[in-house]
């Protein structure tokens, strides 16, 4: 049974989608063992507690540097024997030491079709640019900002009447389907990396 840790800073709707997918049998052979947050009041922690999933909070203000903070989380995840780290609205860029500790074992989801519109404002940036199509991307995490190898992407149209809120809401629907799908592929060993390309074994 693969052990997954989910890192979240806010509401945790993608965490909920992952938990629901496991309960529905869409992700087999894995469990969410731990939810970690950098905020004490993150609703993601409550979602975890409602499902009897262990939680841990690491407050950045209690550490002297970004590296010390990330090392503390890494040590805790390693002690918990975590196999896969899943970022679900975790609003911090991971230090190189974190990425090195879990090579190709950290996933993130981003609300745009990367490499377009990376960073914290992907939906607003895409809308402001005037694109006709956007979507979401599940990718492995590397040392850059949303620059890791792309696992899965899905697109949707941008309508003339869209606002940031309406577009974000429709992208969330895609995210809640695509993220569990990517995790299931990883658990089943169906993702093969060749350079930057993630090849998916559909058999």
In this prediction, residue 202 carries a pLDDT of 76
Q: Which residue has the tokens 């196999």?
A: 83
Is residue 112 within 8 Å of residue 182, measured between CB atoms? Answer: no
Helices (runs of H) and strands (runs of E) counted in the chain: 6, 9
Active site residues: 110
Label residues 28-59 b or e (16+ Cβ within 10 Å = b): eebebbbbbbbbeebbbbebbeeeebebbebe
For residue range 2-35, what is the model confidence (pLDDT) as tens digits?
999 999 999 999 999 999 999 999 999 999 999 9
Closest CA to 134 of 104, 105, 171: 171
Percent pLDDT > 90 in the chain is: 97
CB atoms within 10 A of CB 194: 8
The CA-CA-CA angle for residues 2, 8, 9, to 5°, reads 170
Give the pTM: 0.95
For residue range 42-59, what is the model confidence (pLDDT) as tens digits?
999 999 999 999 999 999
CATH of 2-200, one of 1.20.5.510, 3.40.50.170, 3.40.50.10490, 1.10.3720.10: 3.40.50.170
Domain boundaries, the chain: 2-200
- Mean pLDDT of all residues in the chain? 96
Among positive and negative, which fits the CA dihedral 66, 69, 75, 79? Answer: negative
In this prediction, residue 114 carries a pLDDT of 98
């Amino acid at each position: 049974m693969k052990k997954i840790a989910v890192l979240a800073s806010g509401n945790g709707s993608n965490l909920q989608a992952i938990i629901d997918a496991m309960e529905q049998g869409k992700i087999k052979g894995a469990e969410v063992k731990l939810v970690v947050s950098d905020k004490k009041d993150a609703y993601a922690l409550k979602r975890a507690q409602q499902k009897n999933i262990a939680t841990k909070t690491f407050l950045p203000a209690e550490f002297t540097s970004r590296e010390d903070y990330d090392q503390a989380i890494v040590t805790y995840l390693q002690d918990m024997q975590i196999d896969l780290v899943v970022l679900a609205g975790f609003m911090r860029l991971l230090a190189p030491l974190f990425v090195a500790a879990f090579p190709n074992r950290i996933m993130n989801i981003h609300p745009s079709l990367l490499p377009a519109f990376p960073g914290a404002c992907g939906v607003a940036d895409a809308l402001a640019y005037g694109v006709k199509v956007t979507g979401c991307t599940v990718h492995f995490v590397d040392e850059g900002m949303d620059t890791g190898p792309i696992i899965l992407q899905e697109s949707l149209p941008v309508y003339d009447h869209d606002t940031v809120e309406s577009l974000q809401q429709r992208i969330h629907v895609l995210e809640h389907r695509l993220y569990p799908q990517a995790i299931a592929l990883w658990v089943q060993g169906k993702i093969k990396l060749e350079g930057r390309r993630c090849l998916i074994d559909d058999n």
